[in-house]
Every structure is written in structure tokens, then in C-alpha cells.
Amino acid sequence: MRGVFYLALALAASFAAGPARAAAPLAAYGALPTIEQIAISPSGRLLAIAMVRNEQRTIVVEDLALKKPVNGVRLGEAKLRGLEWAGDNHLIFLTSFTGGAVDFAIDKTEWFMATDFNLATHRLGPLLGDANLALNAIEDMPVVRLVGGKPYALAEGVYFGGPSREMAGNLRITTSELALYRIDLDDDRSTRLSSDEAHARGYIVDSDGQPLAESLYDAITKEWTLKVWRDHQWRTIATKTAAIDTPALLGLGRDGRSIVVRGLRDKVNELREVSPDEGAVSDPLPGPQTGSLLHDPATHRLIGIATFDGNVLDYHFYNDADAARWAGIAAAFPGQRPELVSTSDDRQKLVLHLDSPTEGPGYALVDLATHSSQWLGAEYPGLSPADISPVEPIQFKAADGLELSGYLTLPNGRAAKDLPLVVFPHGGPAARDEPGFDWWAQAMASRGYAVLQVNYRGSAGLGRAFLEAGFGQWGRKMQTDLSDGVRYLAAQGTIDPKRVCIVGASYGGYAALAGATLDPGVYRCAVDVSGPSEIAKFIAWGAARNGDEGVASQRYWLRYMGVSALNDPRLAAVSPADLADKVTIPILIIHGKDDTVVPFAQSQLMADALARAGKPYQLVVLNHEDHWLSRGDTRLQMLQATMDFLQKNNPAD
């Protein structure tokens, strides 16, 4: 029915508007998604739907049997980061805000808070609000376990009751450590379960809500440790020396008792199960080694992994019946890239995220017991099929022969010949572009631009060798991979090589600045959104924010730069702020004042350098905006400024 409805809508629009249909307003692309998240309750009886309207967030609880809303909570402008049920009577949501830091050396940080919404009493209870010597902030979304038949939340928080440490001038400070807490959701009272372990990095709890495993990492000694809780104390069962790529605990294994660890042996992406009893390590798990692990919602045991197979999101299940069930679901939504979002405990009711190439992204509910599905709503309801441009995968070779891939979005209604192009590199850089709807790329395509997204060397999710090919290539071959894509499209006749600009955010913002300074002659203009510009200062800033862990952060970034120290002159050679005199094209710089990932000072450094060099630039400040463009009004402000700049300096007409 969804496809029939949209087809009828498209035909009606075409008859009404004629051949000269106007593009949808930028707000239809740049506003926050109308639906941000959906979670189904353990019984499958209730749906929690997080919606946004006029910058106001609301969580609505719908009774599926009654087919109507029965509860809800208003979040206002709070930034929603997670949504999870704890039984059918408790809904936990994770929000964040930008605020002052505990460390006086840090001006601001992003704080994550979890709240329990009791549906029976309508009470909102902040998790860890009562914890002694702790912040009421948590590290990530809590996990839920049944203890004595009652749901509890288990969360990682910051504990200040550890041993003190002597500083200069006989000053002693109390250190903070990551601690594990269990919260009784009936009264939201918390109990600290972990002992005073220095360098704790993460915890795993068993299916009964008891501590099972803990990972620790000393960034100074480079020693990683895996401990298990046995005989009322933490006992070491595995260690590994790692300067950067430390192992990661990912949850319970297939038997519901073992611990899944990534990177315990030499291959850093390998998944293995470790017995908590004798410390025995399994062979690598069968199937894919990279992706998002899938756990049974009731038993919490590992059942599969979601991964990309080429350009397709694929689900690998360890059980044949699960695999057959998912194959049937995927077949019911051909071409719509179904993604599992939430499931009832019996896994009979599933919430799926769908991404149709013609209708855009949205959500559906599948009931396996009745073999039926229900469309829940679109993320961008202001867009019709005529407003969504086609996205196609591309492959080409870099100048040195490395096979590269990416995606090309082509503007609707225009022949794929001599088009103006926007190169749109992803952030990270250890991330990747994926097929499907991208609101930013779609907005640019709607104004007549072809949009190229390249998974340059150093991107994640394309194999370890491809990731490592980026080490030492920051500002070098990682950059020319982008312009090699331009040359490939020009050779195909798809784009006009004289009408190319580059737009990006985070690392993509750096790539935009590097395109204007390190790779001249390719671009007519550049738009940098929240990108670093002075690399040594950026790395030093990040290291200073993380205490002892900062040395590991510094090692991570220097590996991408191909240097071993911050005073290496090669850092200046890839820092756009140090190369402003080489700029020959106009640059637009956009940055949020509340950015805690790349500080606003990095954009100010670039703007000042361009001003001193007498180069054309604009600086747009996004007030109260973070690194992720979490606010709809400033996201739209960014998009409008970008499109005005592109139209002025690289007209699509």
C-alpha cells in the first residue's frame, strides 16, 4: 500500500504542477526528521515514538491493540540520543546537553543523562540522581535486565570516590573512575556494583543483571586487561599490549554466558568468545567480523551481526531459522534496505527502518504472527518521490591504482552530462558513506548539483587493509582520492570539471579546506562545516581533554598524519590554517559554538589566517549548536548558507 499511495501522490502532483514543478523548500530536507526513534515494548503491546515538531520533541506511547496514544512525555528542545523499554511500565530515554566541564581545563563538554519514565505513575526519574560521589551523567545508553522478574537498568557512570593522586605543589586530587551502577526502576535508587578500579573502560553484565566482565586500559603503559567477577572480586583472565587498537567488549556470546571480544588476538577486527570461567578463547566467530552485533532481547545472547556486503545492508544470523525469517522479511520490502530497529521479546513484532530509493526513509511495524505490516510514518513527510534524487554506486581507481567506491546522487530531471558537481566527503575519517537517503546530499541535488560521496582510503567498514591504507595519508592520498573521483566523472562526461565545489563536515570540513590549500585547481569553492584547520593544535586540544587517556588519543591521530610527535613540521604541511596564502578560491566556514568534538577555535584560526592573507571567505556562526547539527533551526541555517554560497560561486543553472 505504501508504494501505491506514493505513486498516486506523485501522479497527482505531476498533473497539478505540470512539467515545471518547483523543488521542495530546503526546510523539507534540512529540518530534523519528523520521527527520530521508535521502540517497541517487550510484550509487543506498546510503541514509543519520538517525534519532532517546531523544534519540540515529544515521545508518544501508542497502544497497538487500541490503535491510539495512551501516554507520553514532552522533552522540549532536549536532544534525544536513545530510547529503550524496561518492561512495559518503564521507558528509558537518553538525552544530552552541552555544558561546563568538571575539569577546569575544559571549557565545555557534552553531558548524557538518562531518565526513567514510569508509565503507571507518570513520574520522571533521572538515573544516578541519588548516587553518592557520582555525577548524574552516564557514558552510554543503559542496559536492562530482569532481576527477580523485575526490570533493572544498569548504567556506567563517573565515580569520584577513588584514591586521590598527588599533583605538583603537594596538591592532591580525587580521581574519577568509570563505575557500574544498578538502578531499581520502582524508586530509581542506584547501587554501585563495581569496586575502585583505576583505568576502567567498560563493563559487561550477565543475563541476571550481575557484573560479569570489565575491561581496563592504561594509556601510559599501553596495557589492556580483561577481568571477570568471580568469588566476589575481579580476576584477570587476559591482557594485551596495545598502543592504539585496544580490544573491545561487545556483550554476551552465543551461549549467553561467554563474553564477545573484538581484537583480542593479532587481528584487531576479529570477533572471539571468551569463557568467564577459565578464560578460554574461541576461534573467530563464523561469518562477518565487522558490523553491529545483534542480541536476543529476552536472553541477551548473541544471535547475529548486521554488516554491509558491498552496497547492501545484510544480516548474518548464527541460527538457520533466524536467517530464514530475516530472508522473508527482506523479500517483503525489495529495494528498501530494511534495518532492524526494535523487537519484542518473542521477536514476533519488529520495528524496521526502511529506505526506499523513490520514497525516502521511514518506519514500519511487522507482525510475524499475523504476517502483516503497518506503515508508521516517514522521516521527511514534506518530500514526495519527485523530490528525491536517484543514488547510484560508483567504482573507480585512484591514481596509484587503489580501488575506490562511493555514491553519486544525480539531480532529478537533468541528463547525466556536464553537470555541476559537489564533492561531499564524509566525516570520521574512520567512517563510511552508505547507500540510501542522505538529507544533505539530497538537498544539494534538488538544486541541480550532482553530489559525489567517496569512501576514500582510511574509511571504515571496507576491510582493515583499506582502513590502514589511510594511515599517514591525511591531507595526502586521502585528499587526492576525492579529486581522482572528480577526474573519473569528468572522463565519463557526467560532470563539468570546471564547475566543481567541495562541501564537508568534521573531517569532511577539513577535506574542504585541504581542497582549497593542498589540492589546487580542482575546485571553484569550498564549504567547511566544523572541520579542524590547525592540526597540531587540534590534536593537543583533544589530548588535554582526556587526562591520561589523552596520550592514546594523540597516538590515534598521529598515526593518520604519519608522524610521531606534535612538533613534526609535516603537521604544518597538512594544516590549512598554515597554508592560507595558497588559497585562490572563496571559502565558506560554518561552525557551531557548542562543538565539543572540533572546537570553534579551529574555525576562528582559519578565518584569521585567511583575513591576514587577504583571501575571500565568510564565517557563519551557529549559536547553541553542537558538532552533530542536532538543532533543526541551525541545521537549516547551515544548509541555506551553503546553498546560497554554492549558487553564487558555482551556479547550477
**pLDDT at residue 533 above 60?**
yes
Cα-Cα end-to-end distance for the chain = 37
**pLDDT at residue 6 above 60?**
no
CA 95 – CA 75 distance, rounded (Å): 9
Give me the DSSP letters along 589-606.
EEEETT-SSS-HHHHHHH
pLDDT single digits (tens) 585-644: 999 999 999 999 999 999 999 999 999 999 999 999 999 999 999 999 999 999 999 999
pLDDT single digits (tens) 176-230: 789 999 999 999 999 999 876 789 999 999 999 999 999 999 999 999 999 999 8
Percent of the chain with pLDDT over 90: 84
For the CA atoms of 130, 134, 136, 138, what is the dihedral angle to 10 degrees? -130
CA 429 – CA 431 distance, rounded (Å): 5
The band of 168, judged by pLDDT with boundaries at 50, 70 and 90, is very low
Read off the pLDDT of each residue in 153-179 and give the average, rounded to a whole number. Answer: 70
DSSP 282: P
pLDDT single digits (tens) 257-311: 999 999 999 889 899 999 999 899 999 999 999 999 999 999 999 999 999 877 7
CA 389 – CA 392 distance, rounded (Å): 10
Contact 197, 212 (CB under 8 A): no
pLDDT single digits (tens) 569-578: 999 999 999 9
Q: Which residues contact 362 (CB under 8 A, 6 or more apart)?
A: 35, 353, 354, 356, 375, 376, 377, 378, 379
Within 10 A of 172 (CB to CB), how many other CB atoms are there?
Answer: 10
pLDDT single digits (tens) 539-550: 999 998 877 788
pLDDT single digits (tens) 378-418: 999 999 999 999 999 999 999 999 999 999 999 998 999 99
CA 414 – CA 475 distance, rounded (Å): 33
User: Residue 18's pLDDT is what?
Assistant: 36
CA distances from 325 to 146, 313, 394, 482 (A): 27, 16, 31, 40
pTM check: above 0.75: yes
Read off the pLDDT of each residue in 447-467 and give the average, rounded to a whole number. Answer: 96
Contact 297, 344 (CB under 8 A): yes
Beta bridge partners of 377: 363
Three cell numbers written together for 328: 522473508
Q: Which residues contact 134 (CB under 8 A, 6 or more apart)?
A: 128, 157, 158, 159, 160, 161, 179, 181, 192
Q: Position 145: which residue type?
A: R
CA 516 – CA 540 distance, rounded (Å): 24
Beta bridge partners of 264: none
User: Residue 562's pLDDT is what?
Assistant: 94
The band of 162, judged by pLDDT with boundaries at 50, 70 and 90, is low
The band of 166, judged by pLDDT with boundaries at 50, 70 and 90, is low
Within 10 A of 399 (CB to CB), how many other CB atoms are there?
Answer: 11
Percent of the chain with pLDDT over 70: 94
Q: Which residues contact 621 (CB under 8 A, 6 or more apart)?
A: 591, 593, 600
- Report which of 391, 393, 426 is spatially closest to residue 411, judged by C-alpha positions: 391
**pLDDT at residue 2 above 80?**
no
**For the chain, how many residues are written?**
653
Within 10 A of 463 (CB to CB), how many other CB atoms are there?
Answer: 13
Burial class from Cβ neighbours inside 10 Å (0-12, 13-18, 19+) for residue 88 reads middle
The band of 9, judged by pLDDT with boundaries at 50, 70 and 90, is very low
Strands 391-397, 134-138: pairing is unpaired
Backbone angles phi, psi at 157, to 5 degrees: -130, 180
Beta bridge partners of 207: none
* Helix (H) or strand (E) segment spanning residue 223: strand 223-230
Residue of 6 and 46 predicted with greater confidence: 46
Read off the pLDDT of each residue in 135-156 and give the average, rounded to a whole number. Answer: 93
Mean pLDDT, rounded, of the chain: 92
User: Residue 16's pLDDT is what?
Assistant: 32
Three cell numbers written together for 363: 518506519
The band of 12, judged by pLDDT with boundaries at 50, 70 and 90, is very low
Beta bridge partners of 407: 393, 453
Q: Position 154: which residue type?
A: L
pLDDT single digits (tens) 62-120: 999 999 999 999 999 999 999 999 999 999 999 999 987 665 556 789 999 999 999 99
- Report which of 640, 425, 397 is spatially closest to residue 523, judged by C-alpha positions: 425
The band of 14, judged by pLDDT with boundaries at 50, 70 and 90, is very low
SS3 state at 58: strand
**C-alpha angle 308/310/316, rounded to 5°?**
40
**C-alpha angle 352/355/359, rounded to 5°?**
125
Residue of 522 and 310 predicted with greater confidence: 522
Pure H helices in 531-631: 535-544, 550-561, 600-613
Contact 291, 262 (CB under 8 A): no
Q: Which residues contact 67 (CB under 8 A, 6 or more apart)?
A: none
Q: Position 178: which residue type?
A: L
The band of 5, judged by pLDDT with boundaries at 50, 70 and 90, is very low
Three cell numbers written together for 392: 547510484
Read off the pLDDT of each residue in 496-523 and give the average, rounded to a whole number. Answer: 98
Pure H helices in 391-547: 439-446, 464-468, 477-492, 507-517, 535-544
